[in-house]
Amino acid sequence: MGKTTYKRLKGSQSFRQRLLLSTLSSTPIIIDEIRADDMIPGLLRHEMSLLRLFETVTDDCVVEVNETGTRLKYKPGIIMGGKNLVHNCALTRSMGYYLEPLLLLGLFGKKLLSIRLKGVTDDPKDPSVDTFRNAALHILKRFGVPSEGLDLKIEARGVAPEGGGEVLLTVPNVQTLTAVQWVEEGMVKKIRGWTFSARVSSDFEHSMRFAARGIFNNLLPDVHIFNDHKSGPQAGKSPGYGITLVAETTAGCYVSADTTVSCGRTDETGEVDEEKQERKPAEDTGVEIASWLLQEIEKGGVVDSTHQGLLFILCALCQKDVSKVRVGTLSPYGVETLKNLKEFLGVTFSFRPDPSTSTVILTCVGSGLVNLSRKLS
């Protein structure tokens, strides 16, 4: 065995992607100066939880963190996948934070991945579990991922700060991903929505649905928003409500917007947040998300700004063939993803602005990642 050479990185930015790309490309990494100058230095709770998650789905990975948490040494293992896995997510971030890397790891595993995540299902920071189920999974199918075995079941809701939610994710394995030519956006043909309320009155859902429909009904006839009122153990441990809206186009693109309002969020001192006294009415939340969805549609592109990172990673992992995709305004997360892909996989994208629609067409040649651990059937 030769000496392991590590790629040296600095800082806490794009920690999740660095970990993911390091694992997929089998590149050992050392990250120094993780929040070294911060009041609370080192890795945060959800980042430690993400490391534990990577340990759960891979075999033989080596994780070394120094006492202050400001330095991480990570040697990736073999992605195993496996059934009946369970992971308790840190409650500082919702499951959206953990699901994106999990989806991609699962595809290149040795066995089918079936994992139960416990914690916060919805928060305002990360995409909601409804968004994952109804938008992100459709993006994977574009790249040749079979829809059989690809599923996300929401078994219980959990809102910050206490969580208590539960989802079951299953991801099939692939040999390689198929390159895509995906520039056709199409016109919006229908809008579907999902509201939920947990440990609060279902009137909140009714208000959000009514307000959101008020905006869409003037624009297109096919709008349907489903409700999901939870009580008892399925409602998790904290009160809150939320809404997810997804627009489907004639060309099979899915554009999403979502948010969650947590009614019991406390700040660091344990005092109930000021937000509680001045929370805006649920109608305003409905209007806000409906307007945000319309803005996302207006920006153009085959995915919304939340899913740009996922789209670029999928393009970069494809077989050695040209992928071509259209996006609206590049989001900061999208730009960060492009930098990381160049660093880890050596994949560079070429840009061509399309002034007529103010969108950008990106082209790249995939890195040709092959799932070697999967048995050739």
Please give the full DSSP string across 249-296, using - where no structure is assigned: ETTS-EEEEEEEEETT-B-TTSPBPGGGTTPPPHHHHHHHHHHHHHHH
Please give the average per-residue pLDDT across 215-220, as a whole number. Answer: 94
Crossing angle between the packed helical segments 332-345 and 15-24, to the nearest 10 degrees: 30
Tell whether the model's pLDDT for residue 135 goes beyond 70: yes
Q: Which of 174, 67, 168, 165 is nearest to 112 (CA)?
A: 174
Q: Which of 122, 104, 121 is nearest to 113 (CA)?
A: 104
Q: Are 93 and 125 in contact (CB under 8 A)?
A: yes
Please give the average per-residue pLDDT across 198-227, as a whole number. Answer: 95
Q: Are 223 and 217 in contact (CB under 8 A)?
A: yes
Q: pLDDT at position 375, please?
A: 59
Tell whether the model's pLDDT for residue 238 goes beyond 70: yes
- As given in the structure block, the two tokens for residue 311 are 């789209």
| Threshold 0.85, pTM exceeds | yes
Which residues are paired to 327 by β-bridges? 301, 360
Q: How confident is the model at residue 274 (pLDDT cuts 50, 70, 90)?
A: very low
What CA–CA distance (Å, rounded) separates 35 from 149?
A: 39
Q: pLDDT at position 229, please?
A: 94
In the chain, the percentage of residues whose pLDDT exceeds 70 is 95
Q: Are 23 and 58 in contact (CB under 8 A)?
A: yes
CB neighbourhood size of 69 (10 A) = 17
Q: pLDDT at position 3, please?
A: 81
What CA–CA distance (Å, rounded) separates 159 from 197?
A: 10
In the chain, the percentage of residues whose pLDDT exceeds 90 is 92
Please give the average per-residue pLDDT across 234-254, as a whole number. Answer: 97
Q: Quickly list DSSP for 120-135.
A: --B-SSS--HHHIIII
* Helix/strand number for the chain, H first, E second: 9, 18
The CA-atom distances, in angstroms, between 320 and each of 53, 365, 367, 370 are 30, 6, 6, 10
Residue in the block written with tokens 């945000």: 292
Tell whether the model's pLDDT for residue 364 goes beyond 50: yes
What CA–CA distance (Å, rounded) separates 33 from 9?
A: 9
Residue-level length of the chain = 377
Q: How confident is the model at residue 268 (pLDDT cuts 50, 70, 90)?
A: very low
